[in-house]
Structure 1
C-alpha cells in the first residue's frame, strides 16, 4: 500500500475521532450556555441537546447528499439507527438489566415505529423526493413539539441548573466560565464539521479502493463512527452503575436520524434509494424498532432481551458481509 493509500485510512480514523470528541464538547457547551442564559430545561432538551447529539449523523448525511452520494446519505442515517439499538442498547443491556425510566417511552417508541414505516413507504418507488422530505419533516416537528410539551410538564429540580462538569483538557483551562463555554462550543462544532468532511471524503475513497459498495461502508464504519455519542454515553452509564441508560433518548435520536436528517437532505436533492435498503436494511431496522418497543413496554429491558437485540444486530452485520462475498 502506498503512503497516499495509507493516508486515506489515517484521515478516516482521525475524522471519526474528531466527531467523537467534538460532539461531546458541543453538547456540554450547548447545555451550559443555555442554562447560563436561563433557557428552560424543556427548550434545552427538545432542541439544543437533540440537535447536538445527532449533529455527526446529520452533517455526514447532508454533505453526502450534496455530493450526490445518496447511498452514503441514506445508509448513514439508517445504519445509525440500527447501530444505536444494536450496540448502545443490545450489547450494553446484555451485561445488566436496565430500567426504562422515561415516562414517555411508549409514545416515543410508537413515533419511532411510525417514522420507520413512513420511510419504508416513501422509499418504495426508489427515490425520496422533496415532497417526501416535507412529510418526514412534519413528523420531525410533531416529535419536537411533543418532546417540548412532555419536558415542560416535568417539575424542575435543583440539579437542572447545575453546569456540566469540566472534563479532560477543558478542566485545565483557566478562563472565565462563560468564555470557556463559547470556546468549547466553537471547537466542538469545528471538530464535528471537519470530522464529518473527513469521514465522507475518505470513506468514499476506502470503499473505492477495497471494492466495497459505498452503501456497506455507510451502514457499518461510518454509522458506527457517527453514533459514537450515543454509544459512549451508554458505556459510561454502565461503568458508573446507572440503571437508566437513557433508552428513551436513543429512541429519540433514531426518530431524528430518520425524519430530520433525511427530511432536510431531500430538500436539496432527490435521494435515490438502493434496492438493498428496501429488501434488507429497512427490514432489520424495523425489526429492531419493534423489539425495543415491545421489550421496553414493561418499563425494563432484561439481559436476555438485550442478548436478542445484540444477536439480531450480529446477524445483520453477517448478512452485510455475505453480500460482499
Structure 2
C-alpha cells in the first residue's frame, strides 16, 4: 500500500476522532447555553441533549444522502441503533445488572418498536421518499412531545447534566467566559462534527471500494460504531459511576432519533433506495434487539445473562455481515 492509500485510512480515523470530540463540545455547550438561559430541565432533556447527542449520526447520514450514497445514509442510521444496543447495553450489562429507573420507559420502548416497524413497512417498496420521511418525522414528533410531557410531569427523572465548567481543557486558555465561551465551543464542536463527517463519508467510500466491501457493510459496522461513540462512552462512564440506568434511557432516545429524525430529514432532500440486504438481514436483527430491549426493560432490570444474550446476537450479526451476507 502506498502513502496515498495509508493517508485514506488515517483521514478516516481522524474523521471519527473529530466527530467524537466535536460531539463532546457540542453537547456541553448546548446544555450550558440552555441552562444559562433558564430553559426548563424538561425541555433540555427532551430536545437539546437529544439533538446534540445524535449530531454525528445525523451529519454523516445527511451528507451521504445528499451525495447520492443511500446505502451509507441508511446503513449508518440502522447500524447505529444495532450498535447502541449491542455494545452500549449488551456488553455493559454483562459486567453488572442494569437497573431501568425510568417511569416512562415502557411507552418510550413502544415508540421505539413503532419507529422500527414504520421504517420496515415504508421500505417494502424499495424506496424511502419524502412522503415516507414525513411519516417518520411524525413518529419523531410524537416521541419528542411524549418525552417532554413525561419529564415535565416527573422533573426529578429528567436528564440532569451538570453545568460544564467555563474553563476546562484547551478552553482554559481562551479569554472568554459565560455565553461568549459557550458560543465559541458550540461553533467549534459543530464545525468538528461536520468536518469529521465529511472525512468519514468520503474516505469510507474509498476504503469500501479498495477492499471490495459494499458501502452498506462499512456503514453498518465501522462507521456506525464511530458515530455511536458518544453513546458508547456515555454508557461506559455511567457504568464507572455506578449509574448504568442512565445509559438505557439515552440509548432508547438515540435509537428513535436515528430512525425517525435522521432518515426522515435525509429523505426530504433525496430519495433513498433501500438495499435488499436491509430488508432480509439488518432490519431483522434490529427488530430482534428492539424487542429484547423492550421485554428486558419492562422488568425494570437488564441482568447479566440478558446482556450476554444481546451481546452474542450483536456479535453474530457482525460476523454474518462478512460471512453470510
- Tell me the TM-score range normalised by the shorter chain: over 0.9
Gaps of 5+ in 2: none
Q: Contact between 2:42 and 2:155, CA under 8 Å: does it hold in 1? A: no
Gaps of 5+ in 1: none
Number of the residue aligned with 1:89: 89
Q: Contact between 2:88 and 2:232, CA under 8 Å: does it hold in 1? A: yes
Number of the residue aligned with 1:107: 107
Q: What SS does structure 1 have at the residue aligned with 2:260?
A: helix
Superposition RMSD in Å: 1.6
- 1:264-275 equivalences under 5 Å are 264-275=265-276
Aligned residues: 323
The TM-score normalised by the length of structure 1 is 0.96
Cα distance per residue 1:221-249 (max 9 Å; x no partner): 00000001100000111122224233012
Task: Rate the CA distance shift 1:238–1:173 in 2: closer, same or farther, 3 A.
Answer: farther
Q: Contact between 2:32 and 2:163, CA under 8 Å: does it hold in 1? A: yes
Cα distance per residue 1:170-216 (max 9 Å; x no partner): 35645323222111111111110110010000000000011000000
Q: What SS does structure 1 have at the residue aligned with 2:314?
A: helix
Cα distance per residue 1:63-110 (max 9 Å; x no partner): 000011000000000000000000000011110001001111100100
Number of the residue aligned with 1:212: 213
Aligned equivalents of 1:91 and 1:125: distance in 2? 35
Number of the residue aligned with 1:197: 198
Number of the residue aligned with 2:307: 306
Q: What SS does structure 1 have at the residue aligned with 2:95?
A: coil
Q: Contact between 2:235 and 2:244, CA under 8 Å: does it hold in 1? A: no
Give 1:164 deviation, angstroms: 2.4
Q: Contact between 1:115 and 1:255, CA under 8 Å: does it hold in 2? A: yes
Over 6 Å off, 4+ runs: none
Give 1:269 deviation, angstroms: 1.2
Q: Contact between 1:102 and 1:246, CA under 8 Å: does it hold in 2? A: no
Q: Contact between 1:60 and 1:73, CA under 8 Å: does it hold in 2? A: yes
Number of the residue aligned with 1:39: 39
Q: 2:126 matched to 1:131?
A: no
The TM-score normalised by the length of structure 2 is 0.96
- 1:234-313 equivalences under 5 Å are 234-313=235-314
